[in-house]
Amino acid sequence: MVFVADSSFAVLTLLKLVSGLPAVSLLTRLRLDAALYDPAPRRDRHQQGRPRLKGKRRPTLERVLANPKTEWRKLKLDHWYGKGKRTVEICTETAVWYHSGKAPVEIRWVLIRDPLGEFEPQALLSTKLSHTPRQILTWFIQRWRLEVTFEEARAHVGIETQRQWNDLAIARTTPVLFGLFSLVTLMAHALIKKETKAVRQAVWYTKEHPTFSDAIAIVRRCLWSSCHFSTSRRPSEVVKISRSLLERLTDAVCYAA
């Protein structure tokens, strides 16, 4: 079981707890100025005093990044945040992360930099030392899709905004809303093939793939056009408008939150 989290979960107490669980690991970001050490040397049987918690202090990842002698290895990834293949440079080792008053934690750290300079260098860690850099980066990139799903589901479907007072009601509505999110996504996927302009564009924002806003608008347009809405029976209440104006009004309503 692999947990992937953001930097707010890079807490030594939590990392130590997870590292002691069998078949469980945690991936998160690592500060570039984190205090890293060698493992504690073996204790001699005749040695007195408290056992050492750590070994020799290692250079921070900031110094590793700035050191011209650091050996970087190129790593080709098939998926990079929805932008296709990407080649990055990585440097990885195992170390002990220690802070005064906290239990030391053995980690696998991966330092990442972009040869093109399009993003700032960053570091990731895993509580499982046997994880490879490719595994760590692939799992961490997959986390982005989950974050977007939660954000879009909250903004457009209302997850975590329910106002029920009963715990059972909340336990029921949340899965239903997630199911609605999936249903809209599947319907939009089928309808996009028929849409000539499925992706809404803006002057300040260019996108190639539809977002959930586009998906829910496509589904709304399909459902509304298929339904038979009741109309007034009095001719005096009927106002004819142009087809272009009707389409613009419909489009505006489809994209309303």
Q: What is the pLDDT of residues 64-74, one digit of tens each?
A: 999 999 999 99
What is the percentage of the chain residues whose pLDDT exceeds 90?
44
pLDDT at 229: 60
Whether 40 has a pLDDT exceeding 90, the answer reads no
Identity (one letter) of the amino acid at 19? S
Does the predicted model carry a pTM greater than 0.85? no
Q: Phi and psi dihedrals of 73, rounded to 5?
A: -120, 135
When computed from its CA atoms, the radius of gyration of the chain, rounded to whole angstroms, is 27
Report the DSSP beta bridge partners of residue 27: 4, 126
